[in-house]
Amino acid sequence: MDAIRGFTGEHGYPPTVRDIGKAVGLTSSSTVHAHLANLEKLGLLRRDPTKPRAMELVDRATRGVKGFVSGPGLPVVGHVAAGSPTVAEELIEDHVEVPQQAGGRDGQFVLRVRGDSMIDAGILDGDLVVVAEAKEARDGEIVVALVGEDSEATVKRFFKEGKKVRLEAENKAYKPIITDQVQLVGRVVGLMRDVR
């Protein structure tokens, strides 16, 4: 990544595979391609395979570097229940550009919502919630939490009640979850919805 960032900063455009190989001491273009593919899988790089110089680092450190798109791309890492808790799938499904107004400045990842327990907060089934990693939350904040021995993931409002936590739905059809077995994953800082 440093070679890509450095070349782009110096020249004003992204490097070719050959430029990257030269910068890091690799003579085999297939080895460079393999490293670039790994960066893509990790969500750190986006490329257009039809254009030799069309690559974009998905890294906040590239903001302001000439030649890069500055919008943050965040990984979509599965789904979270807005209903009964379910096991979160922590696999990167996709990457999405998240505008600052939708939480892109503070978020680290995105989860797709399943269920209707948060509809009164405007969070609908199929929405994408932008999450900032956090181990603590203030009362009333909307959080993603792992609940119980099975670490089931859910999105709810957070309230501390003595030694326990109350996770409150925003739908009267759901009862609150009151537990001392909760691990915060993060705070919901934004929301995106496809209206097509």
Which residues are designated catalytic? 117, 156
Helix (H, G, I), strand (E, B) or coil at 192: strand
What angle, rounded to 10 degrees, do the helices at 17-24 and 29-41 form?
100
Give me 16's structure tokens: 């070719």
Going by the DSSP 8-state scheme, the letter that residue 155 receives in this structure is: E
> What is the C-alpha to C-alpha distance for residues 161 and 168, in angstroms, rounded to an integer?
12
Q: Are the C-beta atoms of 60 and 72 separated by less than 8 Å?
A: yes
Label residue 126 left, alpha or beta by phi (over 0 means left) and psi (-120 to 50 means alpha).
left
Length of the chain in terms of residues written:
196
Helix (H, G, I), strand (E, B) or coil at 29: helix
> What is the C-alpha to C-alpha distance for residues 186 and 143, in angstroms, rounded to an integer?
6
> What is the C-alpha to C-alpha distance for residues 173 and 196, in angstroms, rounded to an integer?
28
Give me 30's structure tokens: 């297939």
